[in-house]
Amino acid sequence: MPHSLRLPDLAAIRAAQARIAPHVHRTPVLTSSSIDGEVGARLYFKCENLQKVGAFKARGAVNAVFSLPADVAGRGVVTHSSGNHGAALAYAARRRGIPAWVVMPENAPKVKIANVAREGATIRFCVATVAAREAACAEVQGESGATLIHPFDNAEVIAGQGTAALELLADVPDLDAVIAPCGGGGLLAGTAIAAHGLSARLRVLGAEPAQADDAARSLASGRVEPLPTTTTIADGLRTTLSPRTLAALRAHVEAIGTCSEDAIVRAMRLIFERMKLVVEPSSAVPLACLLEGTLPLRGARVGVLLSGGNVDLDRLPWQT
C-alpha cells in the first residue's frame, strides 16, 4: 500500500491503546431509555465529550506524538487547526515535554484559541484558507524542523482515534452496529478498523450533516468529493476526506447517513436535557440521523460515539 494510504490494523490500535493509556481518560458509556424511545433502538453513548481537551482528538494526537523517536520529537510538532485537534496536539506535546506550534485561522472562535493557548502551544495566525494554513505550517517546519501531525491524514492519529471503539466494545461487546460522525474521517476510519478487527459482522456506519455530505458522496463515487463552502452548525464536520480515510471507509463502512440542521439542534438539545451532557453539534449528528431515520437501525443495539463537548455556552443554537 502506498505510504499516502497506509492505515493501521487492529494490532496498531491495540498498541496505541497501551501507549496513550497514561495520558487520556477511559471515558464512560452512558444510556438513556427516553432517547431509546425516541429512535426505537438501544443506544450506548461513548462519551468522548468527557475526554481530555473535551474531545476524542486527544487520543490520536497523543498516539502520534508519543510514537515519534526522541530525536525527532525534540524538534517539536506542528499542525493546522481551528479547534479540537490543535488543543489536543498542544496537550500531547506538553505531556511529552516538547514544543508545539498550532496554525489557526484568524477568525477561529475565541474559546478555541484560548484552549490551544492554555495547553502551552505557540499559535500562528493566518488567513482562513487551506493554502494559507499549509504555507504557515511549512514555514514553521522550515524554521524549527518540527514534525507535521495532520488532524486526520495520519496513520498514528487514526490508530489513536480507534481506541475509543476498542473501549466501547470491551464495555458493551454485543452491539449490532457502531456509528461515528464523519468530518475528515479519522474517527470513523479508526472506529471501523477497530470494530471489524474485533467482529466482521458488526455494522459500521457514519453520520454527517446533509449540508456537508461530502463523505456520503465520496463513498458513493469511490473518489474524494470536495466539500464546498458550507454553513452547517456542525463546525467540526466541515472537512473533506483524504484518500487515506476514504480507503478505510470504502473497506469497512456500510453507509453514511445525513441529517438536517433542525435535527442536529433537536438531537443536541435531547442529549443536554435527557442525559445532562454538554455536547457540541458535531457530536449530535449520529443521533440526528437516527431521529430522521436515515440510518435504519430500529430494534438494534447501537454504539454511538459522542465526539466532543467544546461548545460556546453563550451561543447555544436554541437560544434566541
Q: Are residues 116 and 265 in the same domain?
A: no
Integer Rg of the chain from CA: 18
Q: Are residues 116 and 193 in the same domain?
A: no
Q: Are residues 170 and 256 in the same domain?
A: yes
For 173-184, letters b (16+ CB in 10 Å) and e give: eebebbbbbbbb
Q: Are residues 269 and 129 in the same domain?
A: no
Q: Are residues 33 and 45 in the same domain?
A: yes
Query: Which residue among 32, 46, 52, 57 is the active-site one?
Result: 57
What the block records as the C-alpha cell of 250 is 470504502
Q: Are residues 131 and 219 in the same domain?
A: no
Q: Does 295 fall in a domain?
A: yes
Q: Does 211 fall in a domain?
A: yes
Q: Does 96 fall in a domain?
A: yes
Neighbours of 133 (CB within 10 A): 20
Nearest to 105 by CA among 59, 77, 137, 64: 137
In this predicted structure, the answer to whether residue 1 has a pLDDT above a threshold of 90 is no
Is 244 exposed, middle or buried, given 0-12, 13-18 or 19+ CB atoms closer than 10 A?
buried
Q: pLDDT band at 106, cuts 50/70/90? A: confident
What the block records as the C-alpha cell of 244 is 487515506
Average pLDDT rounded to a whole number, residues 140-156: 95
Q: Does 316 fall in a domain?
A: no
Looking up cell 468522548 gives: 48
Average pLDDT rounded to a whole number, residues 271-278: 97
Query: Which residue among 32, 67, 82, 218 is the active-site one?
Result: 82
Residues 205 and 208: their CA atoms lie apart, in Å, by 10
In this predicted structure, the answer to whether residue 320 has a pLDDT above a threshold of 70 is no
Q: Does 132 fall in a domain?
A: yes
Helix, coil or strand: residue 79: strand
Q: pLDDT band at 30, cuts 50/70/90? A: very high
pLDDT of residue 231: 80
Average pLDDT rounded to a whole number, residues 63-91: 95
Residue 57 annotated among the catalytic residues of the structure: yes
Instruction: Give the domain-ending residue among 148, 173, 208.
Output: 148
pLDDT in tens, 151-202: 999 999 999 999 999 999 999 999 999 999 999 999 999 999 999 999 999 9
User: What type of residue sits at position 147?
Assistant: T
Q: Are residues 169 and 271 in the same domain?
A: yes
Average pLDDT rounded to a whole number, residues 96-118: 89
Helix (H), strand (E) at residue 65: helix 57-67
Instruction: Give the domain-ending residue among 148, 169, 184.
Output: 148
Instruction: Give the domain-ending residue among 118, 148, 178.
Output: 148
Q: What are phi and psi of 279, to 5 degrees?
A: -130, 150
Q: Are residues 165 and 38 in the same domain?
A: yes
pLDDT of residue 281: 94
In this predicted structure, the answer to whether residue 208 has a pLDDT above a threshold of 70 is yes
Q: How are beta strands 29-30 and 42-47 bridged, if at all?
A: antiparallel
Q: What is the CATH number of the domain that holds 101?
A: 3.40.50.1100
Nearest to 69 by CA among 141, 156, 139: 156
The share of the chain scoring above pLDDT 90, in percent, equals 83
The share of the chain scoring above pLDDT 70, in percent, equals 98
* Average confidence score pLDDT of the chain: 94
Q: Are residues 38 and 167 in the same domain?
A: yes
Q: Are residues 200 and 218 in the same domain?
A: yes
pLDDT of residue 20: 98
Q: pLDDT band at 3, cuts 50/70/90? A: low
What is the span of the domain harbouring residue 265? 3-56+154-306
pLDDT in tens, 115-136: 899 999 999 999 888 789 899 9
Q: Does 319 fall in a domain?
A: no
Q: Are residues 283 and 178 in the same domain?
A: yes
| Contact present, 206 and 255 (Cβ < 8 Å) | yes
C-alpha dihedral sign at 189, 194, 200, 201:
negative
pLDDT of residue 302: 98
Q: pLDDT band at 2, cuts 50/70/90? A: low
Bridge partners of residue 207, in order along the sequence: 181, 257
Residue 46 annotated among the catalytic residues of the structure: no
Looking up cell 479540537 gives: 84
Overall number of domains in the chain: 2
Average pLDDT rounded to a whole number, residues 66-81: 96
Average pLDDT rounded to a whole number, residues 199-225: 96
Q: Are residues 278 and 191 in the same domain?
A: yes
In this predicted structure, the answer to whether residue 280 has a pLDDT above a threshold of 80 is yes
pLDDT of residue 218: 96
> Edge-to-edge, what's the strand order for the sheet holding 177-181?
29-30, 42-47, 301-306, 177-181, 203-209, 255-259
Average pLDDT rounded to a whole number, residues 55-62: 97
